[in-house]
Amino acid sequence: MCHFCLLSVLSIRGVQEEDPPDPQIMRLDNMLLAEGVSGPEKGGGSAAAAAAAAAAGGSPTDSSIEHSDYRAKLAQIRQIYHSELEKYEQACSEFTNHVMNLLREQSRTRPISPKEIERMVAIIHRKFSSIQMQLKQSTCEAVMILRSRFLDARRKRRNFNKQATEVLNEYFYSHLSNPYPSEEAKEELAKKCGITVSQVSNWFGNKRIRYKKNIGKFQEEANLYAVKTAVDAANVSAQASQANSPATPNSGDTYLGLRSLNGEGLNIAPSLQPQVDTLHRATHLTGGYEELSGSGLFTPHRLDANSWQDTTTLSSVTSPPGPPGSVHSDTSN
């Protein structure tokens, strides 16, 4: 590359280049700083990334692994960025020296004002800073790609653990008449499940819509959890009323065996009064809604304000694909 050519190019144009307050480069600088690429070693940048990751919502267990991976890649990008930057700076000062030498040589044949020298230097710096901007831009791009690869929660979806979905389902089906947990309830559920509040909201949003869309598919689950909560209520009341709680092994999972009373034989021990009530209520609400939406028979379903889901989707609920009669023969004995 010929210095004279470059020199002439620089002197011809470069005058009309934009000046210091370049918004573009400011933006890039800010972003690189925020991303932890520029700025002090392992400073607030990674903290910001961590905050972003946490905000995106992820289980705390695997996020650390993902995060270290992310950090490694980010460090790589940062290293490349810095070495390139250094190279450019070195080249810039080298080139400036060359130009100065040339000017000095020329000054023997023609007078050169300090102003001209100054202008030349400014032009060179501007040229190199525009190259720097390209570097910053491509670095930004790389970081963005990295972020979307590693931090996009959608890409890194993990199913909630069994216990979490258990808790959520329990709440959902025991509040089936109004499955809209309050903010406090959401927080509690989130804490219990080890997920974020917004994940709880997502879950309930998905659950409501999917339940409503295909009630039949959820019948078994609904009954299952109805029984579960009924049993829980039984345990609670038994513990409350009687000093000794006779048969309370482990509250949850072993009682899943009660699924067998899915359709007809709701033979709960006669001594348990309130839980039967809950059970009736729950099964009635689920099965009852299916009936009125599927067959068109309608009675004002106001009994417990379970008027969620009555927004125009009644027709979309096709006849239940599951075993007929196994479900809504529940409490009608």
Taking CA atoms, 21 is separated from 24, 28, 124, in Å, by: 9, 13, 18
Q: How many residues bind DNA (CB under 7 A)?
A: 35
* Residue numbers 303-322 binding DNA by CB under 7 A: 308-309, 311-313
Query: Residue 198 Cβ, how far from DNA at the closest point, in Å?
Result: 7
Query: Contact, 292 vs 298, CB < 8 A?
Result: yes
State the greatest distance between any 2 C-alpha atoms of the chain, in Å, as a whole number: 116
User: Which string of x and - marks every residue 46-85 that binds DNA (by CB under 7 A)?
Assistant: ----------xxx---------------------------
Question: Does the protein bind DNA through residue 158 (CB under 7 A)?
Answer: yes
Query: Residue 236 Cβ, how far from DNA at the closest point, in Å?
Result: 27
- Residue 83 or 206: which CB sits closer to DNA? 206
The residue whose two tokens read 């700083």 is: 33
Question: Does the protein bind DNA through residue 16 (CB under 7 A)?
Answer: no
Query: Residue 90 Cβ, how far from DNA at the closest point, in Å?
Result: 41
- Residue 81 or 218: which CB sits closer to DNA? 218
Query: Contact, 179 vs 169, CB < 8 A?
Result: no
Residue 116 CA to residue 24 CA, distance in Å, equals: 28
Torsion angle, alpha carbons of 167, 172, 174, 175, to 10? 140
Question: Does the protein bind DNA through residue 284 (CB under 7 A)?
Answer: no
Question: Does the protein bind DNA through residue 206 (CB under 7 A)?
Answer: yes
Per 3-state DSSP, the chain is made up of helix, strand and coil in percentages (nearest 5) of 65, 0, 35
Residue 79 CA to residue 73 CA, distance in Å, equals: 10
Interface residue list for DNA (CB under 7 A) = 56-58, 152-160, 165, 180, 183, 195, 198-199, 201-206, 208-210, 212-213, 217, 308-309, 311-313
